[in-house]
């Protein structure tokens, strides 16, 4: 068991070792089952080096389908669903606040204590002398709500519940975390790489949280919208091979774009 776990961790840390398949430079994919996850999830994982790709958060209340998002962003290496949305009185809004192209969009209501912000793309700073510290400060990362400053980010989203925090599983409640449904999540490894996860079939969120932390070594992760919205599609992949629901409207997506 220990040897198997060490092998999986080594696989994550070493690009292009089985079972990872390169999608684009710095971007790799594998099935969750090949990484020690439950095969019944029928889940896909994408691992992204943030120095070789950029992330963007996009919201459209008209709820474009995956095919329509692909037409809009043909260069996207991958498209995943974002956080939750609300449709009260026919008005489609993000449930939690988001930042899109430097503008903060107010959510319908999201005061959960177990939420996390994912800072996807920081605002361009004024030209300064480049340094390792400066470069690191611009990479995507996670924040508890009190520590997030939307004016510093070009794209960001807030979601819930937290699945992993500080390398430990954090989703252990008896209700939402114990439910079984199609699940999507975004997390970050210790080396800064970003991990996207989506399942085609139901998964118990606390089981996913434990697997992310204990098997893959994820340091922070947050749940994204699940159920029929759970989506992870790679560029050039036939729609029927993507994780998702064919023809489903996706008002909020996370794009993985070339640098």
- Backbone torsions φ then ψ of 6, nearest 5 degrees: -65, -40
CB atoms within 10 A of CB 106: 11
Per-residue pLDDT, averaged over 250-254, amounts to 99
Peptide bond into 185 cis (omega under 30): no
Q: Which pLDDT value is given to residue 138? A: 61
Query: Which tens digit of pLDDT belongs to each residue from 75-125?
Result: 999 999 999 999 987 899 999 999 999 999 999 999 888 999 999 999 875
Query: Which tens digit of pLDDT belongs to each residue from 32-68?
Result: 999 999 999 999 999 999 999 999 999 999 999 999 9
Residue in the structure block whose two tokens are 């508890």: 144
Q: Which pLDDT value is given to residue 139? A: 85
**pLDDT higher than threshold 60 for residue 203:** yes
Of 118, 120, 91, 113, nearest in space to 257 by CA? 120
Share of the chain above pLDDT 90, in %: 82
Per-residue pLDDT, averaged over 209-238, amounts to 98
What beta strand segments (E) does 101-144 contain? 103-105, 116-122, 141-143
**pLDDT higher than threshold 70 for residue 126:** no
Q: Which pLDDT value is given to residue 15? A: 44
Q: Give the lowest-confidence range in 83-87, 129-133, 160-164, 180-184.
A: 129-133
Q: What contacts 24+ positions apart, CB below 8 Å, involve 173-177?
A: 173/206, 176/205, 177/204, 177/205, 177/206, 177/209
CB atoms within 10 A of CB 29: 19
- The domain limits of the chain are 2-257
Q: Which pLDDT value is given to residue 197? A: 99
**pLDDT higher than threshold 50 for residue 2:** no
Q: Which pLDDT value is given to residue 129? A: 42
Query: Which tens digit of pLDDT belongs to each residue from 128-150?
Result: 444 443 444 468 999 999 999 99
- Angle in degrees, CA 11, 163, 70, rounded to 5: 70
**pLDDT higher than threshold 80 for residue 5:** no
202: which residues sit within 8 A by CB, 6+ positions away? 41, 180, 181, 182, 183
- Backbone torsions φ then ψ of 251, nearest 5 degrees: -70, -25
Mean pLDDT of the chain: 90
**CA distances (Å), 91 to each of 60, 85, 95, 101, in order?**
11, 10, 11, 21
- The SS3 of residue 239 is helix
- The SS3 of residue 66 is helix
Q: Which pLDDT value is given to residue 187? A: 99
């Amino acid at each position: 068991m220990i040897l198997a776990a060490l092998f999986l961790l080594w696989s994550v840390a070493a690009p292009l070792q089985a079972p990872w398949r390169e999608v684009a430079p710095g971007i790799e994919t594998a099935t969750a089952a090949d990484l020690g996850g439950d095969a019944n999830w029928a889940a896909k994982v994408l691992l992204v080096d943030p120095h070789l790709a950029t992330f963007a958060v996009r919201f459209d209340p008209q709820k474009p389908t995956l095919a329509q998002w692909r037409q809009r962003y043909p260069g996207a290496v991958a498209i995943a669903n974002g956080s939750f949305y609300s449709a009260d009185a026919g008005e489609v809004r993000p449930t939690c606040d988001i930042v899109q192209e430097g503008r903060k969009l107010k959510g319908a209501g999201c005061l959960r204590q177990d939420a996390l912000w994912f800072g996807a793309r920081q605002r361009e700073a004024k030209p300064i002398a480049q340094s390792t510290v400066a470069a690191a400060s611009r990479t995507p990362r996670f924040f508890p709500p009190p520590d997030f400053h939307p004016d510093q980010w070009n794209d960001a989203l807030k979601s819930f519940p937290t699945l992993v925090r500080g390398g430990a599983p954090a989703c252990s409640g008896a209700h939402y975390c114990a439910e079984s449904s199609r699940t999507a999540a975004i997390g970050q490894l210790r080396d800064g790489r970003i991990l996207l996860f989506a399942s085609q079939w139901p998964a118990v969120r606390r089981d996913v949280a434990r697997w992310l932390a204990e098997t893959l070594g994820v340091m922070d992760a947050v749940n994204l919208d699940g159920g029929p919205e759970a989506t992870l599609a790679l560029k050039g992949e036939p729609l029927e091979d993507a994780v998702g629901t064919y023809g489903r409207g996706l008002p909020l997506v996370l794009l993985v774009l070339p640098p």
